[in-house]
Amino acid sequence: MRIIYMLALFISFSVLNAQTTVNPDISVIGQLEGNYAGDALDLNGASVELVFQGYVNPFARVDVFLHKHMDGLPIEVEEAVLSIERGLPFGLALRAGKLRPDFGKINVQHLHTLPQIALPVPVGQLLGEEKWGASGLESSWLLPFPWYNNLSVAYLQNGISEHHHHTANSEESEEESPGAAISARYSTFFDLSSITHIETGLSTYRLLDGPDVNIFILDVKYKWRPDKYRSLFWQTELFHRNGYSHLDEGLLEEHPQINAGYMLVNYQFKKVWNTGAIADYSSNLDGAVYQSVGLFVGFSPAEETTVFRLLIKQEQHGEEDSQLQIQTQLLWSLGPHKAHQF
């Protein structure tokens, strides 16, 4: 706790000593989702994300992401992070604040940067509906190899919330907010050629306070981009979760193990058109096997400032009847739009 207080003090000092007349980059990303499952059409998936980004001094940057669902709930601070990337020795970097740690691939990717509409179901199940984010610290080290090798270690005040995922046939249960957790990810990146690249990562998570819960993730991303009109990327994450709770009198209750994963393939075949497929699997979603396959198409008439997406998904959960879901999404962004990291 002392470390967090000291860091908060440092952040306040950095920010207060960086008052200038320069405004940060401000952007707004809005979306409207339409969801058809079974025989009901739902248009309540509207939300807005407000983003503030800028340098507070020559070494540190602040990124703030505020999220508001149009459902009566208050504004949520998705991320509010101070990053020191070029101010530390030995290739170290530090992030502090409310952050999404470098844990798996998709946890740090904002959903609008992915070609499909919804988060893969295993990600929602194992990392949370809004993915895993909490207050804490993350340090990363660019290892001294000739090619890219990064090791990130994070300590967060709250681990991943335990909750059940929405499917077409299930309702979300109440969330529990667990105690502190640590995570780590080792990733490596290779240029296979000037237009093809591959990144792999291995992540681990452990809950420090409460039941013993461990999550392991293997992630792979491959991308081929010969020109600005064509690209292909493939992204896969495989998850394994195990754990047990401490009962009275030294007894242990084992949690059901979960093996899950998703595979996403996206092909951009014109400057403004892309299409692809996504497959999800979980060995244990609310006590039953879950699997789904979806096809999607996207249209971006003006770079990435306006996007229309359509997803058709067939999902099967345990013995329940399979469900056909059709989702549409209109996405727009206002203001500066930074390049997306690989």
Partner 1 sequence: MISRILLIMLLAVSTQAKVNIVASLTDLADIARQVGGKHVSVVSIARGSQDPHYVEVLPSSMMKVKRADMYLMVGMELDQWAEQIIDGSRNRQLRIVDCSSDIERVNVPTRKVDASMGDIHPNGNPHYWLDPENGKVIARTIASNLKVVDPRHTEEYDNNLKVFIDSIDELEAHWAMTYSSLNGKSVIYYHDTWPYFNRYFGLTATAFIEPKPGIMPTPTHLDHLIHIINDQHIKVIAMEPYFSQQAPAFLSGKTGATIVHMAQSVGAEENTETYQKMLTYNLEVLMKALNSQ
The contact set with partner 1 (CB under 8 A) reads 61, 83, 85-89, 91-93, 142, 146-148, 150, 189-191, 194, 197, 199, 225, 227-229, 271-272, 301-303, 305, 334, 336, 338-342
Closest distance between partner 1 and the C-beta of residue 189, in Å? 4
Closest by CA position to 126, among listed 202, 187, 216, 65: 216
Whose tokens are 């990435």? That residue is 304
Instruction: Give whole-number Cα distances, 340 to 110, 112, 114, 229, 290, in Å.
Output: 10, 11, 10, 17, 31
Closest distance between partner 1 and the C-beta of residue 125, in Å? 29
Single-letter amino acid code for the residue at 79: E
Whose tokens are 């549409």? That residue is 328
Counted residue by residue, the chain has a size of 342
Closest distance between partner 1 and the C-beta of residue 191, in Å? 5
User: Between residues 5 and 90, which has the closer beta carbon with respect to partner 1?
Assistant: 90
User: Between residues 93 and 277, which has the closer beta carbon with respect to partner 1?
Assistant: 93
Cα 98 from chain centroid? Answer: 14
User: Between residues 27 and 214, which has the closer beta carbon with respect to partner 1?
Assistant: 27
Closest distance between partner 1 and the C-beta of residue 33, in Å? 23
Single-letter amino acid code for the residue at 208: L
Closest distance between partner 1 and the C-beta of residue 178, in Å? 31
User: Between residues 36 and 222, which has the closer beta carbon with respect to partner 1?
Assistant: 222
User: Between residues 38 and 91, which has the closer beta carbon with respect to partner 1?
Assistant: 91
DSSP label of 14? H
Give the pairing of strands 212-227 and 47-55.
unpaired
